[in-house]
Structure 1
Amino acid sequence: MLGNEALPIRCAVASLVFVGAATCLAPAFAYRPFDGTDAAVADPGELEVELQPAGVLGEQGTRTLIAPWTVLNFGLEGGWEAVFEGRGETPLGPSGPTELIDAAASLKHVLVPGSLQDKTGPSVATEFGVLLPDSTGNSGVGASWAGIVSQRWDWGTVHFNVETALTRDHHADAFVDTIIEGPSKWKVRPVAEVFYEKEFGLEETVSGLVGLIWQASDKLAFDVAYRHAVTNGHPVNEIRAGLTFAVPLRFFESAHVK
């Protein structure tokens, strides 16, 4: 387990490594800054990185630095993708130690190729995985399963997520989410997200997000968003900003050549 003093340094190093990797990019479309996801996976032999170098969350008089928030998507054959994610949290007011939280490992699979795969009709995918313990506290191991439906039109794209989980504290959890994006051909497109989540016996959250995604090129996308939520009757405000890029996996390409 990482020590509290080492975590901020390692988080900063990880951010620099990921940003530096952007010099050898492959095409990517951002699915930051959302809590939900889309019914698509990375291409085989591609590592797609979703990175938030820094964000700020305010709740009940406290501020927390969210840095880095990282999702690694490894494209596999047959419409599969391996996903590894987690984020660092450092209390700012009052200050406190950095924690690694919300770490998870999962598999995502496109069940029905559709408009996100340049075919007709909705794209349908599923994602299931293991929720890993936080770096501090007494959290355990959990599990999650989600169903995702996406449809792209000329005017925009809609993604619908339904997820159920057994949390790290072994509570049942339900999550329903809708993402709406502007036209995919726009260089800068507006985005919005609304979700409802209930962790039974513990908390209930209604959340709304608005933001922008700037497709700087077919190889790089930046995002910025503001989220306002109400959890158990008290407000939560969050600023998110990050980038998405993809890197070809050389060892995967070498294996296919052989």
Structure 2
Amino acid sequence: MLAGDSALVRYVAVSLIALAGSVYSGPALAYRPFDGTDAAVAAPGELEVELQPAGVQREQGTHTLIAPWTVLNIGLSEGWEAVFEGRGETPLSPSGPTELIDAGAFLKHVVVPGSLQEKTGPSVATEFGVLLPDSTGNSGAGLSWAGIVSQRWDWGTVHFNVETLLTREHRADVFVGTIIEGPTKWKVRPVAEVFYEKEFGLEETVSGLVGLIWQVSDKLSFDVAYRHAVINAHPLNEIRAGLTFAVPLRFEGAHNR
């Protein structure tokens, strides 16, 4: 088998593992292309898929392929959704084996419907769940809880996130972030995110992201973003590109049979 064929097989295998891991097993907080999220959930009976087919990360002279990054949002009932996530990482230089990391299973609930639900005032949501062990190493399971507040105006939308975690290595972790988006009526809107995260006893991260979201329709969008972070005084740069689409879990034809 050629080297290119081997890489392709490995990528496809990890794609299936990530997707299967998401569906059958299940970081909290996800809204492309951000690390944080918004105070909205998928409609009941709808599957929303967030997919990054390929992204590149550079840190301290090493390059890593971030692919695939899959998030499944399943609308359960009014104001409730299940969220399942998994991400593949393949070191490129130096090369190394592909890992499945940051897998988890979560529930998200809109506590107070607001501007994101076509009502007045801020939307308030909570998300909580289980962090699953990585595919390699000695990591265990963890827990997370997050609070999200979103407010939409004519000029744009702001999402504020606060998350607390018990990591897979059983350390305390806190995450505080803000997302700012341009006007929703624009087909292509600019977006940005800043966040601070501290995993006690291990690392401290300050991160900034800028990007664009192309809203093709209510059910389809594409995104691209550049992220720069400083982790324990070491820089990290990342390019993200992906899409989000929604499909019904039950089709009308199947329902009528």
TM above 0.5, one fold? yes
Superposition map of 1:44-59 within 5 A: 44-59=44-59
- Alignment coverage as a number of residue pairs: 242
TM-fit CA distance, 1:8: 2.4
Query: Counterparts of 1:207 and 1:178 in 2: how far apart (Å)?
Result: 11
1:109 aligns to 2:112 (yes or no): no
TM superposition score normalised by structure 1: 0.88
Change (3 A) 1:63 1:72: same
Matched to 2:107, the amino acid is L
Higher RCO, 1 vs 2 (CA within 8 Å, ≥6 residues apart): 1
Q: Is the 8 A contact 2:18 2:69 kept in 1?
A: no
Q: Is the 8 A contact 2:14 2:98 kept in 1?
A: no
SS at 2:67 equivalent: strand
Gaps of 5+ in 1: 17-29
Q: Is the 8 A contact 2:142 2:165 kept in 1?
A: yes
Per-residue deviation, residues 151-187 of structure 1 (Å, max 9, x unmatched): 0000000000000000000000000000000000000
Provide the residue aligned with 2:79 in structure 1.
79
TM-fit CA distance, 1:253: 9.8
Matched to 1:235, the amino acid is P
Q: Is the 8 A contact 1:45 1:253 kept in 2?
A: no
Provide the residue aligned with 1:11 in structure 2.
14
Per-residue deviation, residues 116-162 of structure 1 (Å, max 9, x unmatched): 00000000000000000000000000000000000000000000000
Provide the residue aligned with 2:249 in structure 1.
249
Q: CA RMSD in A?
A: 2.4
SS at 1:186 equivalent: coil
Provide the residue aligned with 1:217 in structure 2.
217
Per-residue deviation, residues 215-254 of structure 1 (Å, max 9, x unmatched): 1223310000000000000000000000000010017997
Provide the residue aligned with 2:34 in structure 1.
34
Provide the residue aligned with 1:68 in structure 2.
68
Structure 1 residue ranges (4+ consecutive) displaced by more than 2 angstroms after TM superposition: 4-9, 11-16, 251-255
TM superposition score normalised by structure 2: 0.89
SS at 2:87 equivalent: strand
Gaps of 5+ in 2: 1-6, 20-29
Matched to 1:184, the amino acid is T
Identity %: 82
TM-fit CA distance, 1:31: 2.9
Matched to 2:12, the amino acid is I
Change (3 A) 1:15 1:163: closer
Query: Counterparts of 1:187 and 1:172 in 2: how far apart (Å)?
Result: 40
Provide the residue aligned with 1:20 in structure 2.
none
Query: Counterparts of 2:107 and 2:45 in 1: how far apart (Å)?
Result: 15
Change (3 A) 1:172 1:5: farther
Change (3 A) 1:253 1:37: farther
Provide the residue aligned with 1:157 in structure 2.
157
- The farther-off stretch of 160-169 and 213-222 is 213-222
TM-fit CA distance, 1:62: 0.2
TM-fit CA distance, 1:13: 5.8
Per-residue deviation, residues 42-91 of structure 1 (Å, max 9, x unmatched): 00000000000000000011000000001000001131000000100000
SS at 1:41 equivalent: coil
Matched to 1:217, the amino acid is S
Change (3 A) 1:42 1:196: same
SS at 1:116 equivalent: helix
Provide the residue aligned with 1:231 in structure 2.
231
Per-residue deviation, residues 203-223 of structure 1 (Å, max 9, x unmatched): 000000000000122331000
Q: Is the 8 A contact 1:45 1:252 kept in 2?
A: no
Provide the residue aligned with 1:187 in structure 2.
187
